[in-house]
Amino acid sequence: MEYFRFKHVYNAIFAMVAVTIFGTIGFYYTEHLHLFDAFWLTVITVLTVGYGDAVPESTAGKLFALVIIPLGIGIVSYATGAIATVMIEGELTKTFAKRRMSRVISKLENHVIVCGHGRVGEQVLEQLIHTETPTVVIDIEELELPVNLPKYIHYIVGNATDDEVLKSAGIEKASGLVTTLPTDADNVFVTLTAKGMNENIKVIARAEKLQTEDKLIRAGAARVINPSSIGGKQMVFSILKPVSVDYVNAMLHAGKRSYGIEEVKLVKDSPFINKTIGELRIRSEYGVMVLAIVREEEMNSNPEPEEKLLENDIIVIFGSDKELKEFEKEAQAM
């Protein structure tokens, strides 16, 4: 694909080299010049510079110049046009792509914004793609993303700490923002800015230093994740409790990530409201495991079968992707 895009430029370069070699050899024999002088005469003739310091003097040399001058002018014109075309097409393509992307993003609602596409941001994007979540990625450099990205993944080249860039990402209508920028200061700034533009947005922030976590919470972050701390804990558990770690990893990474954890909120008129876990036979009917019930910010881990489900309860469940989707569909049916 890259070769065909620049095919005319490559052809022009090849033609320029060929006519330069041809002209150098021609003037070398017709004018009996040194090789460099023949090369110099060829270049100023092809480019129509005409300094006057070197001109063909023999009849053979003049006849050869009459051949090479129009040939050189044609090739130079072709090369100039080829380079100009690539530059213009490239800029136009980028301009139209940005406008098209802006129109699509302006229509998004309840999407997630990812600030930074480094090592952590790349993992975040992978999970969002897995859950088919509409996402806008912001990175200061042109993103090297796979060409087969889903249509619900969009990107903006810009600085996430810039208010206008966040606005162009649809910050006012986004439901969540994940900031994984390299420095804690930038993550604090993005968190403050995001909450200032959309007080209802849920911000998940990356922190490298432990003392920054409190600052991010005060800035409005709902959760603060320290990748180094999590990685360190997993390494220790891998030594002390290797079987447990292997089990969790096997369950979460089995096959093509077919297992996971989901949160299901019981909205009004849900058929599950005012029924117990035992009555619903959640485990046998849907194949999922109820890990916890969150009610008014209090978590009931490993609830008993007699636990009654109420409106606005958040049920934390574990199971395969298919089972999780089926349970969510049934729980939110009206």
pTM score, two decimals?
0.59
CB of 79 closer than 8 Å to CB of 16? yes
Residue 87: what pLDDT? 67
Which domains occur in the chain, in start order?
A: 2-103 (1.10.287.70), 108-231 (3.40.50.720), 258-331 (3.30.70.1450)
287: left (phi over 0), alpha (psi -120 to 50) or beta: left
How far is the C-alpha of 153 from the C-alpha of 126, rounded, in Å? Answer: 11
**Measuring CA to CA, how many Å separate 102 from each of 29, 105, 131?**
62, 5, 23
**Rounded distance, CA 185 to CA 82, Å?**
46
Cα separation, 315 vs 263, in Å, equals: 6
Q: Looking at 182-247, which runs of residues are DSSP E strands? A: 202-206, 223-225
Q: Containing H/E element for 125?
A: helix 119-130
Low-confidence ranges of the chain (pLDDT < 70): 1-6, 50-52, 86-98, 143-148, 248, 250-258, 333-334
Residue 263, phi-psi category: left (phi > 0), alpha (psi -120 to 50), beta (remainder): beta
C-alpha span between 130 and 127 (Å, rounded): 5
Query: Both tokens of residue 198?
Result: 């959309």
Measured distance CA(278)–CA(282) in Å, rounded: 7
pLDDT at residue 16, rounded to an integer: 84
Strand order in the sheet with 112-115: 153-157, 135-139, 112-115, 176-179, 202-206, 223-225
**pLDDT per position as a tens digit, 43-57:** 888 877 766 677 788
Element of type H or E holding 7: helix 7-30
**C-alpha 245 chain-centroid distance:** 30
- Rg, Å, the chain Cα set: 33
